[in-house]
Amino acid sequence: MGPSLNELLDNAHVVSLPLVTRFRALDVREAMIIRGPKGWTEFSPFDDYSDEESVAWLRAAIEFGWEELPPVVRSRIPVNATVPAVPAADVDAVLARFAGSRTAKVKVAGPGSTLADDVERVRAVRNALGAEGRIRVDANGAWNVDEAEHAIHALAQFDLEYVEQPCASIAELADLRARVSYMGIPVAADESVRRELDPLEVARVGAADILVIKVQPLGGLSRALDIVRQAGLPAVVSSALDTSVGVAMGAHLAGALPELEFDCGLGTAALLAADVTDSPLLPLDG
C-alpha cells in the first residue's frame, strides 16, 4: 500500500540547485526529495509537464521509496558526458567534468544556436574525444524533417553514434528515418517515448532504432523495464537532469536491464553546481 498525501508531504524537502552552465533554458533545477521507508526518492517534473503527465513522476517516486525494486544484474554502468549548447570554446571545460567518459551526447538545435554553431560544437567534441570516442547528438525535437536531414548530413562527418529526437512527432521520425537509413546513422526516440500516451507506438511503427528511457516520466522502474521488453529495441537509460537521488533511480534501471548496449545518460549530476548529498553520483573512469 502506498503512502498517504500527508505522509509524502511530511517527509518532503524542496530544493533548488544551481547548474554549472545553462541547460535547455534552465539555470536551476528544482526537485522534491522525499524520505520513504526504502530510502530517499525524488519527484521532479519540469514546469512544462501537465498535472496529468506529472502523475507518472509521482508514481515513480513512490515506487522507489516504498516498494521492492527489481534485482540488478550488473554493478558498473558506463555513462556518457552531456554537452549543453555551449560555444565550441567551452567544450573542453564541460567534458572535464565527466571523468573518463568515452561517449558524449551533444545538444544541438538550441534556441539561438545555428547549424554552424552545432557543427563547431560537435567538431570540438570530436577533437577532444579523438577518433575512438563516441558522439551522439540530441535536438530535442527542434527540427522539421528537411532541417533534420540537412543537419544530419552536415554532422555525419563526425561519425555519429545516433541522432536523438531530431523531430518532434512520431510521423516525422518515421519519415526522417526512411530518408537517412542509407547513411547508417540510427534514430533514437526520447520525447516520443516519455511524452506519448502510448510509449510503444514509436517502436511499433518503426520510427526509431533506439529508445531513450527515463524512469520518472515513464512511471517507475517496473514500467520502464516492461516498455523496453515489449519494444524489443536497444535502450539508453538517461536521467531527466535529476539530483543524485533521481540518478540513483536511473542507475537501478540500467543495472536491471538484461542488456545494456549503449553508454547511459546518467552522468548529469556533473552539470549541477550543488546536489542533495555530499557524495553525488558523478562519473568515475567513465
pLDDT in tens, 215-236: 999 999 999 999 999 999 999 9
Cβ atoms of residues 60 and 245 within 8 Å: no
CA–CA dist 113, 105 (Å, integer): 16
Question: In this structure, are 47 and 129 located in the same domain?
Answer: no
Question: In this structure, are 226 and 105 located in the same domain?
Answer: yes
For residue 220, give its domain range.
81-271
Question: In this structure, are 112 and 177 located in the same domain?
Answer: yes
Return the CATH number at 30.
3.30.390.10
Say which amino acid occupies 246.
G
Q: Confirm whether pTM is higher than 0.85.
A: yes
Question: In this structure, are 142 and 264 located in the same domain?
Answer: yes
Chain mean pLDDT for the chain: 95
Q: What is the number of structural domains in the chain?
A: 2
> Can 105 be counted among the known catalytic residues?
no
Lookup: cell for 7: 505522509
Residue 75 lies in a domain: no
Question: In this structure, are 137 and 186 located in the same domain?
Answer: yes
Kindly state the percentage of the chain with pLDDT values over 90: 93
**Which candidate in 107, 121, 177, 194 is catalytic?**
107
Kindly report the number of other CB atoms within 10 A of residue 182's CB atom. 7
Unique residue bearing C-alpha cell 567534458: 95
pLDDT of 18? 96
Report helix, strand or coil for 20: strand
Cβ atoms of residues 189 and 212 within 8 Å: yes
Residue 285 lies in a domain: no
Question: In this structure, are 253 and 189 located in the same domain?
Answer: yes
Residue 286 lies in a domain: no
Confidence of residue 99 (pLDDT cuts 50, 70, 90): confident
Give, in order, the Cα–Cα distances in Å from 213 to each of 22, 153, 189: 23, 26, 9
The radius of gyration of the chain from alpha carbons, rounded to an integer in Å, stands at 18
250-280 tens-digit pLDDT: 999 999 999 999 999 999 999 999 999 999 9
Which DSSP helix (H) or strand (E) runs through 256? Answer: helix 244-256
**Which candidate in 192, 214, 218, 237 is catalytic?**
214
Return the CATH number at 220.
3.20.20.120
What is the secondary structure of 136-196 as a DSSP string? EEE-TTBB-HHHHHHHHHHHGGG-EEEEE--BSSHHHHHHHHHHHGGGT--EEESHHHHTS
